[in-house]
Amino acid sequence: MGLIDEAKAGRITKEMETVARDEGVSPEYIRRGIQSGRIVIPVSPYRYTRPMGVGKGLCTKVNASIGTSSDIVDLEMEVRKARVAQQAGADSLMELSTGGDFREIRRRVVESTELSVGSVPLYQAFIEAIRKHGAGVDMTADDLFRVTEEQARLGTNFMAIHTGINRICVERLQKQGGRFGGLCSRGGAFMIAWMLHNDQENPLYSQFDYLLEILKEHEVTLSLGNGMRAGAVHDSTDRAQIQELIINAELADAAHAAGVQTMVEGPGHIPVDEIEANVKVMKRMTDEKPFYMLGPLVTDIAPGYDHIVAAVGASLSSAYGADFICYVTPAEHLALPSLEDVREGVVTARIAAHIGDMVKNGSRETDLKMGRARRDMAWSRQFELAMDSETARKIRSERAPSDAEACTMCGDFCAHKIIRENIDLRK
């Protein structure tokens, strides 16, 4: 039985108990959340996975995407990226390779981590069709479903599947007169090209019931992909995006009814004044199913700093109710991320998620402790509480002060030290 079946039967599983303990809520709260579809815990019958809860009332989770490209195929590097992401505090990984031996890369990455691992089966199916036939549009529906099951058996916990791109969505995209920044979803581009070339409906949509049978059998959590994702802020919240959301909302209900845990993905490039509306519309249309926000990037002019741009968008998204965010690295739009890019992307996204949780869940206890530690100039305690204690320690040690209580920013004129010598403000 899957987790939804267990929850509907009134049973609390070990995964539910673990998530409840980690989140500081009752196991019954988690059970009810899974029963209603407002919480998911990606699992796999093929390997142990550290339980991660995503959804209403829980901390915002952070995903780190890794994987080879057609230009750079370095399996050992991707394994190291997986480990670096886990060490930096990522809650999950997505293995998104588009070059090399797909099965071996995914097998090694899955074996290297206890985190939940996601994938996009369409990538492999489309690229294998190119290798076999010379063109991705020669991919068959059987190829798609075969790869989906194959990846599930390797221990994949959740899959981004582009079910919501159907003929109506493509028609909306064409009727609205195109886009300023195109379409930045690789899976969306693959599927639209396939549909137009073959003049057929998306098989992930037309054969959705069969897809659910595969996911249900292998206990894979469905992440309804955002294939109409805008590639520029000027294209955000357009008709094509909203049309796909309508379709995905309907499919999310069907998936949950079939016993398949489900998340819904959101836009990637969006200005700050549209974030709240996007989150609330998505939550309303899907009866508050978990929302997986890709970034989002709130301006298009900062290549090299897009992890900071995404942190602004992610913090607001989380505050308004998004449950899961995908990190963005400094290499976004420029290159395949390095090990340091992965680490920096994870830490930056975790900071953004925490900022959002301070509003969404009132999670401010750690900030209170840090405020007191700074007031008291308790440096060891500050490092313990820091999101990235390693970097904090390194910066202080490289510019060590003459007065161990102060820092080289204020030196002899430390406000905390002056106040402590003249008045007691502790509380």
354 & 294 share domain: yes
Pairwise CA distance, residues 363 & 119, whole Å: 31
Q: Among 64, 181, 188, which Cα is nearest to 123's?
A: 188
174 & 312 share domain: yes
Among all chains, which residue has been given the structure tokens 């897809």? 211
276 & 410 share domain: no
Given a cut of 90, whether residue 403 has pLDDT beyond it is: no
| pLDDT score of 402 | 87
Q: 92-134, pLDDT tens digit by residue?
A: 999 999 999 999 999 999 999 999 999 999 999 999 999 999 9
Q: Among 342, 269, 278, 301, which Cα is nearest to 88's?
A: 342
Strand 39-40 and strand 54-55: the pairing is: antiparallel
352 & 379 share domain: no
Is there a domain that residue 372 lies in?
A: yes
| pLDDT score of 389 | 94
pLDDT band, very low/low/confident/very high, at 1 (cuts 50, 70, 90): confident
What range defines the domain where residue 376 resides?
365-422
Q: Among 361, 350, 360, 357, which Cα is nearest to 387's?
A: 350
Percent of the chain with pLDDT over 90: 91
Tell me if the bond preceding 203 is cis, omega within 30° of 0. Answer: no
**Contact partners, residue 172, CB within 8 Å, separation at least 6:** 239, 240, 243
Given a cut of 90, whether residue 406 has pLDDT beyond it is: no
Pairwise CA distance, residues 59 & 75, whole Å: 32
pLDDT band, very low/low/confident/very high, at 422 (cuts 50, 70, 90): confident
Mean pLDDT for the stretch of residues 279-286: 97
- Tell me whether residue 48 is exposed, middle or buried, using C-beta atoms within 10 angstroms of its C-beta: 0 to 12, 13 to 18, 19 or more: exposed
SS3 351: helix
Say if residues 366 and 385 touch (Cβ distance below 8 Å). yes
Domain boundary among 311, 337, 360: 360
Domain count across the chain: 2
| pLDDT score of 295 | 87
Is there a domain that residue 26 lies in?
A: no
What is the residue-averaged pLDDT of the chain? 96
Packing angle between helix 339-360 and helix 75-87, nearest 10 degrees? 30
265 & 341 share domain: yes
Q: 206-252, pLDDT tens digit by residue?
A: 999 999 999 999 999 999 999 999 989 999 999 999 999 999 999 99
Mean pLDDT for the stretch of residues 376-382: 94
Given a cut of 90, whether residue 310 has pLDDT beyond it is: yes
262 & 338 share domain: yes
Among all chains, which residue has been given the structure tokens 């974030």? 275
236 & 162 share domain: yes
Indicate the residue type of 302.
A
Q: Is the dihedral of CA 41, 42, 48, 51 positive or negative?
A: negative
Q: How far apart are the first and last CA of the chain?
A: 51
| pLDDT score of 312 | 98
SS3 374: helix
Is there a domain that residue 427 lies in?
A: no
Is there a domain that residue 224 lies in?
A: yes
Q: Residue 27 has which token pair?
A: 């196991």
Is there a domain that residue 131 lies in?
A: yes
CATH of the domain at 88: 3.20.20.540
Given a cut of 90, whether residue 420 has pLDDT beyond it is: no
| pLDDT score of 224 | 98
345 & 387 share domain: no
Q: What are the helix (H) ranges across 38-101?
A: 75-87
| pLDDT score of 269 | 95
Global model pTM greater than 0.85: yes
Is there a domain that residue 45 lies in?
A: no
Say if residues 264 and 224 touch (Cβ distance below 8 Å). yes
Q: 315-357, pLDDT tens digit by residue?
A: 999 999 999 999 999 999 999 999 999 999 999 999 999 999 9
Mean pLDDT for the stretch of residues 167-190: 92
371 & 356 share domain: no
| pLDDT score of 57 | 97
Kindly write down the DSSP assignment for every residue of 261-324, as one continuous string. -EEEE--SB--GGGHHHHHHHHHHHTTS--EEEE--B--SS-TT-HHHHHHHHHHHHHHHT--E
400-415 burial: b if 16+ Cβ within 10 Å, else e:
eeeeeebbeeeeeebe
| pLDDT score of 304 | 97
Q: Residue 62 has which token pair?
A: 């952070």
What are the two backbone dihedrals, phi and then psi, of residue 424, each rounded to the nearest 5 degrees? -95, 110
Given a cut of 90, whether residue 313 has pLDDT beyond it is: yes
| pLDDT score of 48 | 93
Domain boundary among 345, 360, 375: 360
Q: 251-271, pLDDT tens digit by residue?
A: 999 999 999 999 999 988 999
Indicate the residue type of 136.
G
